[in-house]
Amino acid sequence: MRTSLLIDGDLVDGGAGGFDTINPATEEVLGQVADGDVDDMDRAIAAARTAFDDTDWSRDTALRVHCLRQLRDALVDEIEHLRSITVAEVGAPVALTYGGQLQMPVDGLGYIADLAESYEWTTDLGMAAPFGKPTRRTVVREPCGVVGAVTPWNFPHQINFAKLGPALAAGNTVVLKPAPDTPWCAAEIGRIIKDRTDFPAGVVNIVTSSDHRIGAQLTEDPRVDLVSFTGSTATGRVVMAAASQTVKKVFLELGGKSAYIVLDDADLPAACAAAAAGVAMHAGQGCAFTTRLLVPRAHYDEAVATASAAMSGIGCGDPADPGTLCGPLISSRQRDRVEGYLTLAIAEGGWFGCGGGRPAGRDRGFYIEPTVIGGLTNEARVAREEIFGPVLVVLAHDGDADAVRLANDSPYGLSGAVVGADQNRVDWVAARLRTGTVNVNGGVWYAADAPFGGYKQSGIGREMGLAGFEEYLETKLLAKGVQ
């Protein structure tokens, strides 16, 4: 396997040659991916700028809708090929590719095409007479221009399409820079766009690269009007600072350390099992996973034991096995990072209810056992910092108000959950959580038409839904004098 860059409508080699993409479950090389350099990124930005400024793409809604539906249909046609790539390169359990890892993001392109087709691009504000001058006012929504999209490796299809779909539907042109850990997933999108759709040259450009600095070009280049970034909060700060030099719009979807609150009238075993499964899924590599389990202090030991039993039963396995929920971490670097936090947990006074290291009998692959940590307070670094591994920290609370206090005592505010028998109490807690999404008694917040994003240091703006579409629009007021 060898992939190409998509620049100005052509599939081309990377200026820096190629680099290996690795199967995280086996550590085997899957193939060579085109390695873009600074000149490739410069040409991609120039192509996107020209396509926006000198063609009718931004004004031709029907063409945009047509191209997005073509892309969705082509992706559906090749879904099994894409599924195999996702399992091999991302290490995503195959069962998850029928949901958020692949199938749902692809289907979501249909939603965004329908939205663009029915969207009210203009709003009549009616007549007014400021300073005595009769004036008809119209609000017009227009695309921002060139969008630089920088995406991570954990859910590559979900995040690539959550940026490409609305940005293109809104009339922007795009330069996509995917993570170097999962470039094959993005490169296949480029191939399909080139071979099977009518997207005009330069509207979509995809630059895979082993060099993280290539993405920085998008934040610094004045030809780029908006940067849409998903990744760590630390990198998000860098993106925000760099973008400020040209005062470009910024969308940031960043980290999380979300709380799963169990009230004292909840079904404790069911809640603990659900929390464990939520963190073990995809080896905990999800920014919105609820990685802090807050339980009543009187039932703390029972909660740790129950969550540990559930985690131990999940285990970790081959992502190609339909029964696997927890596969490998993405890389040896990420495994080292998670192991560092496990060491820190013991140093901070915690203990393992289960897990705590590499699974026995797996000499290949970047695996970590699903782990439950007890004995810590919310002040511990392991309870406050994003680990991005299959690690659940169990904390004790002293009632509903204290649970809210602990949940909100975090620099993040991305997600959360609350379960209990008394719906009034559950609603009281949910209303006070400072997070962008809340799972209330098992409700599912993920869907193409539902906005996703965070409070505080979890980001700026919303992705998906109407709110996510409108992130890629500017607002213009036309004021026409009437004689």
Angle at which helix 423-432 crosses helix 400-408, to 10 degrees, equals 30
Residues 283-319 pLDDT 10s: 999 999 999 999 999 999 999 999 999 999 999 999 9
Supply the DSSP string of 385-415, one letter for each residue. Answer: S---SSEEEEEEESSHHHHHHHHHSSSEES-
CA distance 219 to 245: 9
Q: In what order do the strands lie in the sheet with 249-253?
A: 10-12, 5-7, 204-206, 173-177, 146-150, 226-230, 249-253, 459-460
Which pLDDT belongs to residue 212?
84
Q: Is 137 exposed, middle or buried (0-12, 13-18, 19+ CB in 10 A)?
A: middle
Which pLDDT belongs to residue 96?
98
The stretch 176-200 carries a mean pLDDT of: 98
Cα pseudo-dihedral 428, 434, 440, 446, rounded to 10: 160
How does residue 472 score in pLDDT terms, banded at 50, 70 and 90?
A: very high
Both structure tokens of 399: 């009632």
How does residue 213 score in pLDDT terms, banded at 50, 70 and 90?
A: confident
Task: State the residue for tokens 């227009």.
Answer: 142
Q: Is 336 exposed, middle or buried (0-12, 13-18, 19+ CB in 10 A)?
A: exposed
Q: Which helix (H) or strand (E) is 287 found in, with range?
A: none
User: Catalytic residue at 253?
Assistant: yes
In sequence order, the 6+-apart residues with CB closer than 8 A to the CB of 353 are 304, 305, 307, 308, 311, 372, 373, 374, 394
Which pLDDT belongs to residue 476?
98
In sequence order, the 6+-apart residues with CB closer than 8 A to the CB of 382 are 341, 344, 345, 348, 350, 373, 376, 391, 393
Question: Is residue 1 scored above 90 in pLDDT?
Answer: no
Which pLDDT belongs to residue 483?
83
Residues 221-248 pLDDT 10s: 999 999 999 999 999 999 999 999 999 9
Question: Is residue 258 scored above 90 in pLDDT?
Answer: yes
Which pLDDT belongs to residue 51?
98
Which pLDDT belongs to residue 371?
98
In sequence order, the 6+-apart residues with CB closer than 8 A to the CB of 204 are 6, 164, 168, 173, 174, 176, 190, 193
Give this prediction's pTM. 0.96
Task: State the residue for tokens 């039963």.
Answer: 313
Question: Is residue 179 scored above 90 in pLDDT?
Answer: yes
CA distance 388 to 459: 17
Residues 64-87 pLDDT 10s: 999 999 999 999 999 999 999 999
CA distance 204 to 221: 17
Tell me which residue of 145, 459, 403 sits closest to 261, measured CA to CA.
Answer: 403
Which pLDDT belongs to residue 194?
98
Buried-state track 212-232, b at ≥16 Cβ within 10 A, e below 16? eebbbbbbebebbbbbbbbbe
CB count in 10 Å sphere of residue 77: 12
- What letter represents residue 451's amino acid? P
Residue 375: phi and psi, rounded to 5, are 85, 10
Question: Is residue 98 scored above 90 in pLDDT?
Answer: yes
Q: Are 448 and 111 in contact (CB under 8 A)?
A: yes
Percent of the chain's residues with pLDDT above 70:
100
Both structure tokens of 256: 């999380």
Q: Catalytic residue among 89, 188, 253, 470, which?
A: 253
The stretch 92-113 carries a mean pLDDT of: 98
Angle at which helix 61-77 crosses helix 103-118, to 10 degrees, equals 160
Task: State the residue for tokens 């699974």.
Answer: 359
Question: Is residue 26 scored above 90 in pLDDT?
Answer: yes
Q: Are 149 and 122 in contact (CB under 8 A)?
A: no
Which pLDDT belongs to residue 448?
97
In sequence order, the 6+-apart residues with CB closer than 8 A to the CB of 386 are 232, 233, 255, 256, 257, 287, 291, 412
Tell me which residue of 254, 51, 78 sits closest to 151, measured CA to CA.
Answer: 254
In order of their start, the domains of the chain are 2-254+458-481 (3.40.605.10), 259-440 (3.40.309.10)
Task: State the residue for tokens 């119209």.
Answer: 138
Q: Are strands 473-481 and 412-413 parallel, antiparallel or unpaired?
A: unpaired
CA distance 171 to 226: 13
Mean confidence (pLDDT) of the chain: 97
CA distance 267 to 282: 25
The stretch 139-151 carries a mean pLDDT of: 98
The stretch 145-173 carries a mean pLDDT of: 98
Q: Are 47 and 205 in contact (CB under 8 A)?
A: yes
In sequence order, the 6+-apart residues with CB closer than 8 A to the CB of 53 are none
CA distance 75 to 5: 18
Sign, CA torsion 60/62/66/71: positive
CA distance 213 to 351: 39
Buried-state track 163-172, b at ≥16 Cβ within 10 A, e below 16? bbbbbbbbbb
